[in-house]
Amino acid sequence: MSESLPIAEIFSSIQGEGYLAGRRQIFIRLTRCNLECSYCDTGFGEGESCLVENSPGSNVFEHFPRAVGLDRLMDILNAWTWALPRAHHSISLTGGEPLLFAPLLSDWLPRLRGILPVHLETNGTLPIELGRIIRLVDYVSMDMKLPSTAACGGELWDTHRRFLETARGKNVSVKIVVGEQSDAAEIEQVCRIIAQIRPDTPLFLQPLSLPDSHCGISAAHLLHLQALAAARLSDVRVIPQMHKLMGVL
């Protein structure tokens, strides 16, 4: 247990995306990612410090070494849940891509789950790594990367299919970022994968946020894509990035 994780941020906020939108969580944001999505707004400079809120929800941060050990992390989590009993629904492991650290997480997650349920936010491209920890998480929020919006170097449909198969049986949801260039063929492919594996999986359409904070898809096209998906799946929802609208982390 002397190993450490490269953590960029630890903070308390409202989940703004997907199945747990509106729930307050303790966010543990890990560094590094195996993809380079065009809309990604998260930077991960190696060697920087880990930013930790000095109290949950304060938006005032202290700098600590980026390499965070389990004991230090447990101290923070225990202090925050003691200070604000029942305020937090769960712990969100986000990034970057948390599954890049699956071997160490397999050791850490039992202790983290002793404090709060664990919500994994993932780009849905590392099915083998997910298999190592799937029994140790409570919620899986996976992305499916559309070529029209993510532009991260080719289609990932087969990888996403294997990932969703691995997650089957857990509380899993799928999020896609949709923009004006997203088309019916992409929506059909997403729906086909979900329908073949677990048709009741919630699908979230998240409007693309442009660098100037404007929405990257018209209302008419967004509703058109929603209608296409709803014709194939039983639970289709449209949710923007609520945390950005609220002005929280």
Decide: helix, strand or coil at residue 199: coil
Q: The dihedral of CA 200, 167, 33, 46: what is its sign?
A: positive
Query: Which residues belong to the annotated binding site for S-adenosyl-L-methionine?
Result: 39-41, 96
Q: What is the pTM of this model?
A: 0.94
Decide: helix, strand or coil at residue 39: coil
Closest to 119 measured CA to CA, from 233, 18, 246: 18
For 58, other C-beta atoms within 10 Å of its C-beta total 10
Closest to 95 measured CA to CA, from 129, 120, 78: 120
Query: Which residues belong to the annotated binding site for [4Fe-4S] cluster?
Result: 33, 37, 40
Measured in whole angstroms, the distance separating CA 78 from the mean position of its chain's CA atoms is 23
CATH number of the domain at 102, please: 3.20.20.70
pLDDT score at 112:
98
pLDDT band per the 50, 70, 90 thresholds, residue 127 = very high
Mean pLDDT of 16-28: 96
Mean pLDDT of 62-80: 96
Structural domain boundaries enclosing 150: 4-246
pLDDT score at 40:
80
For residue 165, count CB atoms less than 10 angstroms from its CB and return exposed for 0-12, middle for 13-18, buried for 19 or more: middle
pLDDT(58) > 90:
yes
Q: Pick the range with the lowest mean pLDDT from 11-20, 34-43, 140-149, 160-169.
A: 34-43
pLDDT(247) > 60:
yes
Distance, CA of 49 to CA of 139 (rounded, Å): 28
**pLDDT digits over 167-178, tens only?**
998 999 999 999
Query: Which is more confidently placed, 242 or 153?
Result: 242
Query: Which residues belong to the annotated binding site for substrate?
Result: 14-16, 29, 94
Distance, CA of 8 to CA of 73 (rounded, Å): 13
pLDDT(68) > 70:
yes
Looking at the structure of the chain, the number of domains it has is: 1
Distance, CA of 229 to CA of 185 (rounded, Å): 11
Distance, CA of 249 to CA of 2 (rounded, Å): 30
pLDDT(46) > 60:
no
Q: Pick the range with the lowest mean pLDDT from 16-20, 41-45, 157-161.
A: 41-45
Query: Which residues belong to the annotated binding site for Mg(2+)?
Result: 42
Query: Which residues belong to the annotated binding site?
Result: 14-16, 29, 33, 37, 39-42, 94, 96
